[in-house]
Amino acid sequence: MKKQVTLKRTLGLWSSLALVIGTVIGSGIFFKQASVLDYSHSTTMALFAWLLGGLLTLASGLTIAEIGAQMPHTGGLYVYMEKIYGKLWGFLSGWMQIIIYGPAMIAALGSYLAILLVAFFDLPASWQHPLAIFSVMLITLFNLLSNRYGAAFQIITTIGKFIPIIAIIIFGLFFGDHNALGQVASQASTSAGGNFGVAILATLFAYDGWILIANMGGEIKTPQKLLPLAIIWGLVVVLLAYVLVTWGVFSVMSASQIHHFAENTTPHFATIAFGDLGGKLLNIGIIISIAGCLNGKVMSFPRIMYAMAKNNELPFSKQLSYLNAKTHSPVFAILTIFAIAVLMILTVDADRLTELCIFTVYCFYVMAFFGLFKLRLLRPRLPRPFSVPLYPWIPLIAIGGAIFVLISEIIFDTQGVFVSLVIVIVGIPIYFYKHKFNRLDKL
């Protein structure tokens, strides 16, 4: 009898923490201070926006931690939606993530990594696309090996990205000659055209990505215990890093300087603090940071495709649910996500595609948060290895934060909202066709 190949539960607490931290912290922490300050109009309110965005995200994480501990399976949000609301909603949440959102995030990160590599090594601009594809391909090939290797790479890059973060924090706290609180960016009020709500929205986007650890539920050791720990402590670390880095930058540079340098604020900070060498070292830190973030996406998104194929919900499900007998990795799911990402690098603005999907992602977030109330009401005897503290207030805060994002998206990107809904709706006939095909196949 042929032995069945399954995913291996080899990810421990440190690997899981590195996945949460590494998939959240990419480049945003190094470039977002100026835009959040411009929207907030003062350093005090900008720091408060980072703190509030982190607390709203933490409330979301605590809510999902309870659901995830009850459903510790590969697929994350896709599994939660299916088990709480039924197969159609599960399929649509997974469809959107594997066809557009996930590949677009991978493509965007690969493209941005290529831009930094071209600048760092002073290469011709024509190298950007080949370098982007090569970067994604290298990390994809690495993830075809056992998940132990991807997890090890995630830990190493997470440690690496904290070197520039810690340097910025220490220099800012101990050598900064500006008051991090109370500075006003007077020029920003006329140029940014934003408000405090938009500032919070910008921080929420910078905090996004934490839920991807749930996709690895079938590969985490004792996920009922480790998944909540990884989500909660991972988000706490990210929150502290974001707030303290922003405090450090505000302590060294004036609000008017930050507004002037915009996205080049942190590189300019590095030059002030550590000279020209500091700028180079910071770029290396950012390259490592993005590589780790890219690795986390490449590890996690194919797990959704694998879980959907395992349920026979996709065309070519037999192939997409294949696991290599030696590495226990979903080879064809990983390669399919890679192929879609490469097409996006070559043909579309992947960064814009990720923005378009934000609305539908948060629609599914809201449904999942409400799902916690549904689970407690309809399945009160279902074991809860982890219970969200201060229930029902924490889930209600999570719902409020997600609804805030949805309303903001409708106001500021109505066209994007429409396109993102069309992407999801396209999945409906595919679901019913496959569902009908499966029924006929059983006759």
Contacts (Cβ under 8 Å, ≥6 apart) of 100: 353, 356, 357, 423
Check pLDDT > 90 for residue 182.
Answer: no
Residue 146 has pLDDT above 70, yes or no: yes
| pLDDT tens figures, 231-249 | 999 999 999 999 999 999 8
Cα separation, 294 vs 110, in Å, equals 7
Q: What is the mean pLDDT of residues 325-349?
A: 92
Give the model's pLDDT for residue 199: 87
Mean pLDDT within 313-335: 91
Torsion of CA 224, 227, 228, 234, to 10 degrees: 160
Give the residue-averaged pLDDT of 30-40.
84
Which pLDDT band, with edges at 50, 70 and 90, does 2 fall under?
A: low
Give mean pLDDT, residues 36-43: 88
Indicate if the pLDDT at residue 192 is higher than 70: no
Look at residue 100 and tell me whether its pLDDT is greater than 70. Answer: yes
pLDDT at residue number 84: 94
From first CA to last CA, the distance across the chain in angstroms is 26
Report the pLDDT value the prediction gives residue 81, as an integer from 0 to 100.
Answer: 95
Q: What is the pLDDT of residues 13-31, one digit of tens each?
A: 999 999 999 999 987 787 7
Q: Which of 177-181, 345-349, 385-389 has the lowest mean pLDDT?
A: 177-181
- Say yes or no to pLDDT of 147 above 90: no
pLDDT-derived band of residue 191, with 50, 70 and 90 as boundaries? Answer: very low
Second-level CATH architecture of 13-442? Up-down Bundle (1.20)
259's tokens: 């507004």
Q: What percent of the chain has pLDDT over 70?
A: 95
- Over residues 368-412, the pLDDT tens digits come to 999 999 999 988 888 889 999 999 999 999 999 999 999 998 988
pLDDT for 189: 44
Specify the pLDDT at position 1.
45
pLDDT at 186 over 70: no
Using the CB atoms, write b or e for 363-377: b if 16+ within 10 Å.
bbbbbbbbbbeebbe
For the chain, give the percent of residues with pLDDT over 90.
51
- What confidence tens digit (pLDDT) does each residue in 105-142 have? 999 899 988 988 888 888 898 899 999 999 999 999 99
Backbone angles phi, psi at 42, to 5 degrees: -150, 155
Q: Where residue 441 falls among pLDDT bands split at 50, 70, 90?
A: low
Q: What is the pLDDT of residue 439?
A: 64
pLDDT tier at 176, thresholds 50, 70, 90: confident
What pLDDT band is residue 193 in, cutting at 50, 70 and 90? very low
Task: Write 421-427 long-range contacts (CB < 8 A, 24+).
Answer: 421/359, 421/360, 423/96, 423/99, 423/100, 423/356, 423/357, 423/360, 424/92, 424/95, 424/96, 424/360, 427/91, 427/92, 427/95, 427/96, 427/99
- Return the domain boundaries, the chain: 13-442
Contacts of 426 (CB under 8 A, 6+ apart): none
pTM of the model: 0.90
Interior/surface letters 281-297, b for 16+ CB within 10 angstroms, e for the rest? bbbebbbbbbbbbbbbb
Residue predicted with more confidence, 359 or 354: 359
**Whether the predicted pLDDT of 153 surpasses 80:** yes
pLDDT at position 440 is: 58
User: Which residue in the block uniquely carries the two structure tokens 């440190």?
Assistant: 14
Nearest-angstrom CA–CA distance, 98 and 313: 13
For the chain, the average pLDDT equals: 88
**What pLDDT score does 137 carry?**
96
- List Cα–Cα distances, 249 to 107, 266, 277, in angstroms: 29, 7, 18
Question: Higher confidence at residue 1 or residue 298?
Answer: 298
Paired tokens of 360: 């539908």
- Chain center to CA of 403: 18
Section 52-77 average pLDDT: 94
pLDDT value at residue 29: 80
CB atoms within 10 A of CB 392: 12
The encoded tokens of residue 317 equal 């499900």
